[in-house]
Amino acid sequence: MREIVLDTETTGLDPSTGDRVVEIGAVELLNGVPTGANFHVYINPERDMPEGAFRVHGLSAEFLSGHPVFASIAAEFSAFIGGDRLVIHNAEFDVKFINAEFARLSMAPLSPDRILDTLALARRKHPGGANSLDALCSRYGVDSSRRKKHGALLDAELLAEVYLELSGGRQTTFTLQAAERRIAPTVVDLVETRPSPLAPTLSDGEVDAHRRLADALGDRAVWRKFASFGSGDRS
């Protein structure tokens, strides 16, 4: 199954008041495993950058002025995400911004049924706990030391790791049968056949006591399935 882990950075909190997308980062997963295929772009919002937003992501209007506008990257972005599931943390925020950008170009909005919100998933799994991306990275041992400021691609990469843990861990991408196939040859190579059996360490009294207990249990004695209790047998 193909999934896209997605994050955006914006000029503010509300596209209905003129805020715009300024960065998109997306990471492709196939059956829960990152493929290395990413989508990343900075976008000229065609407006100023409020100080509050700049403090969050560090993207200035001057820097962004040298990058393409959303209309120039919309087709490439749409082709990358295709019709696959989108994995987003606090998805309502990102989706409303992307849909606002699509609406400006008369493009179809993202369908709600293809969105998986990892914030909602984390709240169900860890009710009452801190479920920000930073908190989840800390909870699952995901190294977020590079995250000095918000950045769409870095946040998408971190979220991809967190999402795998929220979904049950990296083992979910492997079957037990596949694991057995990988492990079995190693075990066989490491186990050596003993050239001669070890000398018995049980005394005659211990052997007799064990035999009497087995006789008392009769058919319920599980030892009879694995060993003989004939005269002189200490195996």
- For 40-97, the pLDDT digits (tens) are 999 999 999 999 999 999 999 999 999 999 999 999 999 999 999 999 999 999 999 9
Task: Summarize pLDDT for 183-193 with one digit per residue, the tens.
Answer: 333 333 333 44
What is residue 212's predicted lDDT score, i.e. its pLDDT? 82
What is residue 164's predicted lDDT score, i.e. its pLDDT? 94
Domain boundaries along the sequence of the chain: 2-176, 200-229
What is residue 16's predicted lDDT score, i.e. its pLDDT? 97
What is residue 165's predicted lDDT score, i.e. its pLDDT? 94
Q: Which of 57, 67, 150, 210 is catalytic?
A: 150
What is residue 137's predicted lDDT score, i.e. its pLDDT? 94
Tokens of 107: 């493009």
Determine contact, residues 45/20, Cβ cutoff 8 Å: yes
Separation of alpha carbons 200 and 202, rounded Å:
6
Q: What does CATH list as the number for 2-176? A: 3.30.420.10
Task: Summarize pLDDT for 108-135 with one digit per residue, the tens.
Answer: 999 999 999 999 999 999 999 999 999 9
Residue 126 bears catalytic tag: no
Q: Which residue has the higher pLDDT, 190 or 107?
A: 107
Separation of alpha carbons 187 and 4, rounded Å:
38
Predicted confidence band of residue 38 (pLDDT cuts 50, 70, 90): very high
What is residue 201's predicted lDDT score, i.e. its pLDDT? 65
